[in-house]
Amino acid sequence: MPAKKGTKFNQYTFETKVEAIRLHIEEGWTYRRLMDQRGRRKEYVDQDRYVQKLKRENDMLKKCLEIRLQEMKHTNT
């Protein structure tokens, strides 16, 4: 499968790759755990939390706008 445009490829050292393979085979570490150890997963979790916060904020603003429009409609009639 070709890479998506704008994809950034990580270049890990040979030692890091060997250690990751060892942890996976000998220790039974999962891919997720390996990424957690490298600190990559935290970035994605933080990003997901930020997106969820923005969605909640957007929903709240939509509700406020709806209430405001109803109030304006009642004052005009």
Tell me, yes or no, whether 4 lies in a domain.
no
Q: How many domains does the chain have?
A: 1
10-58 pLDDT, tens digit per residue, is 677 898 889 889 999 998 988 888 877 766 656 666 777 888 889 999 9
Tell me, yes or no, whether 8 lies in a domain.
no
Query: What is the span of the domain harbouring residue 69?
Result: 14-76
Render the burial of 44-72: b for 16+ CB within 10 Å, e for the rest.
Answer: eeeeeeeeeeeeeeeeeeeeeeeeeeeee
8-20 pLDDT, tens digit per residue, is 666 778 988 898 8
What are the residue ranges of helices labelled H in the chain?
14-26, 31-38, 40-76
Tell me, yes or no, whether 65 lies in a domain.
yes
Tell me, yes or no, whether 39 lies in a domain.
yes
Tell me, yes or no, whether 21 lies in a domain.
yes
